Chain A
Amino acid sequence: MADSGWLSEIPQLSRGELRDIRKFLDTGYREFSREYGEMIEGFFDPLLSFLVWFEKLLLATPWWLIIAIVAGLAYLSSRSWKLSLGVVISFFLIGYFGMWDDTMRTMSIILVCTLMAIVLGVPIGIAMARSDRVQMAVTPMLDIMQTMPAFVYLIPVVMLLGIGKIPGVIAVVIYAIPPVIRLTNLGIRLVDKDVLEAATAYGASSVQRLMGVQLPLAMPTIMAGINQTIMMALSMVVIASMIGVKGLGQPVLKSITNQYFTLGLLNGLAIVALAIIFDRVSQAYAKRSQRYLEGMDNG
């Protein structure tokens, strides 16, 4: 460290010191991953087998059945023929342009990631809503997760678990989970205090309040969070493909390195089509499940 001139020059660690710190942390982490890598991998094994099984299932199902199922789900959740027809047409086009298998792979990983984000995110959001302390602790972590470039947290994950589906899922979940956590927290905190007080006055336990009042009333907000989570998961597809996640991201990555404009565009459009379908279906479902809101205006 320079002992004079610190006014003009910011005090700085010497290169040697900096290198020592890096070396210390890197070796430490490397040793940690050597020591525990397999154990952690073993921990994720069930998830991996589920991912593989689900992907195989989607790939093995005849194309017309997949289209029928997705269109059927779209209709069930939205009661809109237009949306279902859109689903049929876009899936057919995706298959027609030779992207069927990649789309199935992407769909499988996105569905699993979204599911995980919901399963982890909603309880965290609930915990945040119930305690200001938890909220204070979790909020900065969410900020980091949302702003830290995905590549940075890919490094330790890849060091620990290598390349493949699991690190891909972890990266996608880290990136996509903040909205569902934030909006679950917000939704519960915004629940009308009068209604909650009424539930308490009638002797509702805290579980009864949560399941019967807070979650149902927060549902529109939580659904908005889930919707955002799906969109963000889809946008991670290309980055995930860099660590070996198969799907629509890989052709895009190939197009970037080889400057295949059309290939990139087609696969990009397929991702957009998936995103729009997921978005419309989940929003339509959210809206339909909140029918009681319809009468609000004439009250």
Chain B
Amino acid sequence: MVEAKIDTTEPVTLIKIEGLYKLFGNNPKKFMPLVHAGKSKDEILAETGHTLGLKDINLTINKGEIFVIMGLSGSGKSTLIRHFNRLIDPTEGVIEVEGTDVMKLPQKELEQFRRHKMSMVFQRFGLLPHKSVVDNVAYGLAIQGVSKTERGAKAKEWLETVGLAGYEDQYPAQLSGGQQQRVGLARALCTDAEILLMDEAFSALDPLIRSEMQDQLIELQQKLHKTIIFITHDLDEALRIGDRIAILKDGEMVQQGEPEDILLHPADDYVEAFVRDVNRARALTVETVMKDPVNRITADTIGEALKQMKGFKGDYGYYVNEDGYQGVLTEQKLQAVYDTDKKAKLTSAHCEELEAISQDAVLETVIPDTLNAQYSLPVIDDQGEVTGQLSRSTLAEVLGNESKEVARTEPPAPAGG
């Protein structure tokens, strides 16, 4: 298992799950020893008639991140998300939200917790068919006992935010699937809950609407900074919106990490088989595949520059001064200048122009530039500092990796239904 490395400054843990087990059946407690003894899901089902839903799940979710839980159907992801607000009670384990042990909450407090701390978006929308759109959005507030005018006004605002102004008095059945899910999203946002649970929220939508909704979610998240737990069976979706991803298989956590970790270092064949079909060019950013910036020249004079260039492979280097990246220097040209004036200062005038690429760019967008360029392309950060370089061969290696792995790995065992 790859430990998640978190590079944001001091992440605050919001949700912690420890040693979570769920055994479905009439008498789960009785058969927990079998689970601890390491029997497989199928063995337990055959011996006891109990279904092992989740096995030893441990995870921490940080404030303000989008945490994606992904897996195929039957992997236990929908079961897992229902543990966060205790729509399903675990057989064993600890669920802590902001240090509160959710398992210990009595019914009344649990209701308060659900009203104020978390809201949820469902795969099949779960809208109240007998209430108008605006009443649906206001539902969470109505449950809290907020007055009708106040919650109506708030619901209208959120409907506008999700782009459904003017649909207030329609009934859910009169809307399309995408519109219904926007209502579902508005309903979830309307309670101002800090944590958003999204259970395959976009899976029932057609691809175009789905990617529209993903964009909208990302856009909203940049403004709202919620903590979002997102369930999906679609790795592309997971990579697109997730800050961190956990992969479930048959109720067990297979891998947990940032999208690039999963993509570049799949923990086992199962994950690898997932990753295989992903369009890497679209999923990876330059930063994740670039090499260290060896061809970096920081010299003051041409003589020094030539000396530096001798030290590394290739007959060119990126000229960097206090103002950051300036352009590319070639050995040929420098040598010509050096031959005429041995003491010449190095200035940006000696550079050839070579467009640098941003480290945050998606690989797909830099493919043409990289292929057309004579040299490896310099990669710069927001400040214009050279942080790496990307060559044609690196690109080919990363993108070509797929076919190699296809040949090498076995297809994964199909996940149990």
Give the chain B neighbours of A205 by CB distance below 8 A.
111
A194 touches B114 (CB 8 A): no
For the residues of B in contact with A, the DSSP-based class is mixed
Give which listed residue, B144, B174, B175, contacts A203 with CB less than 8 A: B144
Q: How far is the CA of A294 from the CA of B129 in the complex (A)?
A: 11
A197 near B122 (CB under 8 angstroms)? yes
Q: In the complex, A194→B130 CA distance in Å?
A: 14
Q: Which residue of A lies closest to B114 (CB)?
A: A203
B127, B143, B176: residue with the most chain A Cβ atoms closer than 10 Å: B143
Q: Which residues of B contact A201 (CB under 8 A)?
A: 85, 87, 114, 118-120, 126, 197
Q: Which residue of A lies closest to B132 (CB)?
A: A292
A80 lies within 8 A of chain B by Cβ = no
**B114 in contact with A202 (CB, 8 Å):** yes
Decide if B120 touches A299 in the complex (CB within 8 Å): no
Residue B113, interface by CB 8 Å? yes
| A217 contacts B129, C-beta separation under 8 Å | yes
A197 and B87 contact, CB distance less than 8 A? yes
A161: chain B residues within 8 A (beta carbon): none
Q: Given the complex of chains A and B, what is the CA–CA distance between A293 and B129 in angstroms?
A: 8
Determine the distance from Cα of A290 to Cα of B197 in the docked complex, in whole angstroms. Answer: 31
> Would you call the interface of chain A mostly helix, strand, loop, or mixed?
helix
**Among residues 183 to 205 in chain A, which have CB atoms less than 8 Å away from a CB atom of chain B?**
192, 194-195, 197-205
Most buried by A among B116, B122, B126: B126
What's the nearest-Cβ distance from chain B to residue A104, in Å?
A: 37
Q: Least Cβ distance of B264 to chain A in Å? A: 36
Evaluate whether A208 and B143 lie within 8 angstroms (CB atoms) in the complex, with A200-B114, A201-B87, A203-B112 already known.
yes
CB nearest to B144 among chain A residues: A203
A203 touches B115 (CB 8 A): yes
Shortest distance between the CB of A162 and any CB in chain B (Å): 47
In the complex, which residues of chain B have a beta carbon less than 8 angstroms from the beta carbon of A195? Answer: 126-129
Select which of A200, A208, A217 is within 8 A of B130 by beta carbon.
Answer: A217
B375 within 8 A of A: no
List B contacts of A290 (CB < 8 A). Answer: 130
Q: Is the CB of A292 within 8 A of B85?
A: no
What is the distance, in angstroms, from A74's C-beta to the closest C-beta of chain B? 24
- Report how far A208 CA is from B141 CA in the complex, Å: 13
- Within the complex, the shortest CB–CB distance from B105 to chain A, in Å, comes to 12
**Bound complex: CA of A202 vs CA of B125, how far in Å?**
13
Q: Please name the residue on chain B nearest to A204 by beta carbon.
A: B143
Is B122 in contact with A198, judged by CB distance below 8 angstroms? yes
Question: Which residues of chain A are within 8 angstroms of B125 by Cβ–Cβ distance?
Answer: 194
Given contacts A202-B115, A216-B130, A299-B173, contact A194 B122 (CB under 8 A): yes
| C-alpha gap A112/B219 in the complex (Å) | 60
For the complex formed, measure the closest distance between the CB of B281 and the CB atoms of chain A, giving whole angstroms: 38
CA separation between A296 and B139, bound complex, in Å?
A: 21
Residue B140 interfacial (CB < 8 Å)? yes
Interface string of B129-151 (1 = CB under 8 A from A): 11100000001101110000000
Q: 8 Å CB contacts to B: which residues of A47-104? A: none
Query: Residue A149 at the B interface, CB < 8 A?
Result: no
CB distance from A268 to the nearest CB of B (A): 40
A296 engages B173 (CB within 8 Å): yes
Chain A residues positioned under 8 Å from B118 (CB to CB): 201
Pair B173/A292 contact, Cβ less than 8 Å: yes
Contacts of B130 in A (CB 8 A): 216-217, 290, 292
A202 and B129 contact, CB distance less than 8 A? no
What are 25 A-to-B residue pairs whose CB atoms are below 8 Å?
A194-B122, A194-B125, A197-B87, A197-B122, A198-B128, A199-B128, A200-B87, A201-B126, A202-B139, A203-B112, A203-B113, A203-B114, A203-B115, A203-B116, A203-B143, A213-B128, A216-B130, A217-B129, A217-B130, A290-B130, A292-B131, A294-B171, A295-B170, A299-B173, A299-B175
Chain B residues engaging chain A, CB cutoff 8 angstroms:
85, 87, 111-116, 118-120, 122, 124-131, 139-140, 142-144, 170-176, 187, 191, 197
